[in-house]
């Protein structure tokens, strides 16, 4: 049976926390969740863009309960602050969707001196989720981690990139992006292993949007200023990719399908995962590598300076 948004159950009374709501997948996902009655807690790095997103959601679904939390995932201190703030404010989180990210910028670093893509896409979310963990665990929450088809483009993760010293290899933006999205998927699978071993009711699921037209293809390549390759990629993507709305479907299925029990990966069904209705999809052997997962978890704890015990 083909999944559609009509399969999303009534979410009235359910609280969904979602990172990166100011456009693209995040906004499309938030809009659909609101239409099904969810109470939303969303994050934004830019206050004005956050206000615009709230206005769009409120206009589309009047009466939706929606709170905005400032969050800069490129700062570990801010990720921890925001996570602690949310954990203190809310006694229950039914669904957490870790969606925000950055894609193929020129060589750039977070405020902590870590390569921007692994630092934002993986480490920022790792720190944020660690702070939320007491509430997630108590709520038997569902945690959705957004990965990418690009996870299959790399054969491993250079864990040196999670340190201030960094990797001595030459920076290649697509390799670093692929590794950051592999890290997202490895984290989701490892979290599933750990919660099941602990007997927890938390469900960890991963999703990817296929080839979707979002602002990622513009904001990442143009970090530090406009670039012709970045402009070209964004324009091409707008023509040939599926919409952000269609790209949000795997995230929505991962977040709401009651048959998912943890460890699954959801993505588009057609064109080798590039587009179409969502379904359960496969992942690389590397993404399931338990030794890599253990090493990544430990390196991530070292990087954020906080233990994340499940």
User: Taking residues 17-34, what's their average pLDDT?
Assistant: 96
Could you tell me the residue range of the domain that residue 48 belongs to? 10-209+248-302
Mean pLDDT of 17-44: 97
What is d(CA 187, CA 190) in angstroms, rounded to the nearest whole number?
A: 5
CB 56 within 8 A of CB 280: no
Q: What is the pLDDT of residue 236?
A: 52
Q: Give the tens place of pLDDT for each residue, 120-129.
A: 999 999 999 9
Neighbours of 265 (CB within 10 A): 21
Distance from C-alpha of 162 to C-alpha of 130, rounded to nearest angstrom: 17
Catalytic residue among 109, 171, 177, 211: 177
Give the pLDDT confidence of 263-286 residue by residue, as tens digits. 999 999 998 889 999 999 999 999
Q: Which pLDDT tens digit goes with each residue over 143-186?
A: 999 999 999 999 999 999 999 999 999 999 999 999 999 999 99
pLDDT at 46: 94
In a domain, 126, yes or no: yes
Q: Which residues contact 183 (CB under 8 A, 6 or more apart)?
A: 118, 121, 122, 157, 296
Cβ atoms within 10 Å of 22's Cβ, excluding its own: 24
Residues linked to residue 98 through DSSP beta bridges, in sequence order: 145
**How confident is the model over 294-309, as a mean pLDDT?**
97
Q: Pairing relation of β-strands 39-44 and 95-98? A: unpaired
In this predicted structure, the answer to whether residue 230 has a pLDDT above a threshold of 60 is no
Residue 73 inside a domain? The answer is yes
The total of structural domains in the chain comes to 1
Please state, in angstroms and rounded to a whole number, the distance separating the CA atoms of residues 277 and 62: 28
Catalytic residue flag (residue 177): yes
Tokens of 23: 């456009």
Is residue 62, in this structure, part of any structural domain at all?
Answer: yes
Does residue 217 lie within any of the structural domains?
A: no
Per-residue model confidence (pLDDT) at position 216 = 60
Q: What angle do CA 14, 26, 32 make, to 5 degrees?
A: 50
Number of residues that make up the chain: 310
pLDDT score at 272: 85
Note whether residue 240 is domain-resident: no
Q: What would the mean pLDDT of 97-115 be, rounded to a whole number?
A: 96
- pLDDT of 232: 43
CATH code: domain of residue 268: 3.40.50.720
Mean pLDDT calculated for residue range 30-39: 98
Judge whether 188 lies within some domain.
Answer: yes
Residue 217 · residue 237 · CB < 8 Å:
yes
Looking at per-residue pLDDT, the higher value among 223 and 29 belongs to: 29
Average pLDDT over residues 294-303: 98
Residue 276 and residue 283 in contact, taking contact as beta carbons nearer than 8 Å: no
Please check whether residue 17 is in contact with residue 271, taking contact to mean a CB–CB distance below 8 angstroms. no
pLDDT of residue 219: 57
The rounded mean pLDDT for the chain is: 93
Give the pLDDT of residue 71. Answer: 98
What's the pLDDT tens digit per position in 51-103? 999 999 999 999 999 999 999 999 999 999 999 999 999 999 999 999 999 99
| Residue 213 in this model has a pLDDT that exceeds 80 | no
In a domain, 309, yes or no: no
Check whether 237 has a pLDDT greater than 70: no
**Beta strands 265-270; 275-280: pairing state:** antiparallel
For the cut 70, the answer to whether the pLDDT of residue 217 exceeds it is no
| 91 phi, psi to nearest 5 deg | -90, -5
Give the pLDDT of residue 221. Answer: 56
Q: Is residue 205 part of a domain?
A: yes
Q: Tokens 């990442």: give the residue.
A: 220
Task: Give the residues across from 68 on adjacent strands.
Answer: 42
CA gap 95, 10 in Å, rounded: 14
Q: Is the pLDDT of residue 225 over 70?
A: no
């Amino acid at each position: 049976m083909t999944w559609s948004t009509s399969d999303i159950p009534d979410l009235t009374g359910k609280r969904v926390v979602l990172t990166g709501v100011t456009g693209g997948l995040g906004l499309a996902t938030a809009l659909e969740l609101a239409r099904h009655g969810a109470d939303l807690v969303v994050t934004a790095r830019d206050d004005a863009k956050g206000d615009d997103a709230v206005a769009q959601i409120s206009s589309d679904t009047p009466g939706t309960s929606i709170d905005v939390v400032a969050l800069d995932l490129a700062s570990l201190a801010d990720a921890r602050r925001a996570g602690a703030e949310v954990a203190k404010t809310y006694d229950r989180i039914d669904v957490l969707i870790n969606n925000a990210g950055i894609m193929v910028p020129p060589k750039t670093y977070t405020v902590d001196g870590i390569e921007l893509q692994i630092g934002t896409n993986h480490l920022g979310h790792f720190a944020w989720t660690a702070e939320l963990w007491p509430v997630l665990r108590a709520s038997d929450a569902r945690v959705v981690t957004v990965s990418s088809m690009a996870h299959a483009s790399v054969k491993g993760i250079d864990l040196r990139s999670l340190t201030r010293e960094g990797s001595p290899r030459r920076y290649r933006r697509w390799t670093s992006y692929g590794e950051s999205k592999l890290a997202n998927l490895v984290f989701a699978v490892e979290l599933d292993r750990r919660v099941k071993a602990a007997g927890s009711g938390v469900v960890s699921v991963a999703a990817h949007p296929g080839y979707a037209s979002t602002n990622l293809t513009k904001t990442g390549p143009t970090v530090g200023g406009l670039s012709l390759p970045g402009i070209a990629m964004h324009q091409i993507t707008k023509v040939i990719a599926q919409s952000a709305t269609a790209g949000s479907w795997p995230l929505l299925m991962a977040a709401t399908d009651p048959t998912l029990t943890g460890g699954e990966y959801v993505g588009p069904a057609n064109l080798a995962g590039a587009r179409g209705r969502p379904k359960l999809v496969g992942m690389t052997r590397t993404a399931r590598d338990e030794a890599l997962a253990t090493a990544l978890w430990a390196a991530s704890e070292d990087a954020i300076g906080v233990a994340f015990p499940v």
